[in-house]
Amino acid sequence: MLTQRNLRQVLRYAVVSGLSAAITLGVPIVLHEAAGLGEEAAVAIALAAAFVVNFALFRAYVFATEGGMADQLVRFALVRLAMRGGEYVFFLLLHTLFGLYYVLALLVVLAVSTVVKFLVDRTLVFRDSEPLRRAVPGAEAR
């Protein structure tokens, strides 16, 4: 059931995901083109920055959870590693096995992956937020 709280989380997740995409694309361009850093290092920095921004904003803004940060960080990192592997396998199935044009295959993979990550983040990674919301008056409005 899509409650107002769920809708708010979905919209916030989309905003943070868009910001993450901008970081992942923009930071390497700035670091390489303007600062002269090598492409590989620029992309590595961007991916690390996007990871940190995603975790911090998903935790504080999207799911509004507190406490248990170390556990959440470990779950977040493990989910992201597993998802990257799954995304690649899914891409290979769509592109190599079924012959889908690689750009279309990648778009399908990213769309499906975003939905799956939202659900996993909500139910597994940041699950500590539910008891907190019920225990703290006014936390439902977050």
Token couple for 47: 């991916």
> Is the distance from CB of 27 to CB of 52 less than 8 angstroms?
no
- The share of the chain scoring above pLDDT 70, in percent, equals 89
What's the pLDDT tens digit per position in 3-33?
Answer: 898 899 999 999 999 999 999 999 999 999 9
Token couple for 35: 């600062």
> Is the distance from CB of 63 to CB of 29 less than 8 angstroms?
no
Quick one: pLDDT at residue 42? 93
